[in-house]
Amino acid sequence: MKMIAQKMGVSAMTVSLALKDHPRISKKTRDEVKRVAEEMGYRTNPMVSSLMAHIRSSRPVPYQANLAFFSDFGSPEAWKDLTFIREAYQGICDRAEEQGFLIDSFWLNQEGMQKGRIGKILNSRNIQGVILSPLAETGALDYLDWSQWSSAALGDSLLSPRLHRVTHHQFHGMEILMDHLTQKGYRRIGLAIDTLSDSKVGHAWSSYMAGHLLRLPVKDRVPIFLAPEIPRDAILRKFTTWYERHQPEVLVGHDALLDLMRELKLRIPEDVAFAHLSLPSKLFTDSELPLSGLDQNWRQIGAAAVDLVVAQIYRNERGIPEIPKTILLEGSWVEGATTPEV
């Protein structure tokens, strides 16, 4: 790099940053450095790069810039009531701090945000990276000018544009949960979820369960209960009919299912066992019965989203990717008191 710098009459730091596509170096200079480097036969040494990364990681990281966190739930603070998003946000903040970034949160439904105001705010604060929270409903955010930012979405609820995204491996997570339940001796396993939750994970929950049911003896099959978007009292009646007809040994679902079970005064696990699809649950405190189920590891998902956005910033990659990538993180089983051995 020193030889390249001497030939071009620039500093070795300029060469180093240019070869990393750092946005501090102009595109013209970056292209010229790469051209000269190629002519001189320069190749990166992965062992040296690894050593330098280790050395840098042992030093305090100076402040770099701020990243934006977008959410669209009912109020500016509403996302904090959702445990999985709160966990993801904590992971985002922790990893951002490690890399010298801070986080500014923005509510997309604030007046004027859809008319370009948010772009002006981010530009005025020199915010180059955006992490999008899972949306309240599956949908599109095409009205935003994504060309300005390096970005990543959490989860699968954003349908358009197709950004890079980080999410839990929902299909495999369901497999982990079902494996633990069957190993405990459960045979009649009932999945009960609402259509919105299922659509926000690309129908991974119901898709896995549908395939699983096909491989079971007929006597062990419990049809999936997909709650439609109808009044709550109607859902409760439909769920009651479904539960009494099929008599599952264990129910699998989210907090909404726990609500239905409480209204029916079903005792857990005396009347029916229960496994949660996304722990921790906001409905159960530490003083109550510890729940069994799946931890989707949203804190790690948030951290991975920061890594994805920061890498794009350093490579000067902005806008909607031509070929978006999806990073899938594994979930883990949480042993509680709601799924005792059969």
Q: HSE of 303 in the Cβ direction (CA atoms, 13 Å)?
A: 12
pLDDT of residue 281: 78
Same domain, 52 and 77: no
* Helices vs. strands in the chain: H and E counts, helices first: 12, 14
Per-residue model confidence as pLDDT tens digits over 283-320: 554 446 789 999 999 999 999 999 999 999 988 899 99
> Which residue range is the domain that position 83 belongs to?
65-168+299-331
Distance CA 235, CA 132 (A): 31
Same domain, 194 and 278: yes
User: 155 vs 158, 204, 327, CA distance in Å?
Assistant: 8, 12, 10
Of 183, 174, 193, 211, the closest CA to residue 294 belongs to 174
Same domain, 196 and 289: yes
Same domain, 90 and 118: yes
Report the predicted TM-score, pTM, of the whole model to 2 decimal places. Answer: 0.80
Residue 160 lies in a domain: yes
Residue 340 lies in a domain: no
pLDDT of residue 284: 56
SS3 content of the chain, % helix, strand, coil (to 5): 45, 20, 40
pLDDT of residue 49: 57
Tokens (6 digits) for 47 = 């062992």
User: What is the domain count for the chain?
Assistant: 3
Distance CA 314, CA 56 (A): 15
Same domain, 269 and 312: no
Same domain, 158 and 257: no
pLDDT of residue 287: 45
CATH number, position 41: 1.10.260.40
Which parts of the chain have pLDDT scores under 70? 23, 44-61, 112-115, 282-288
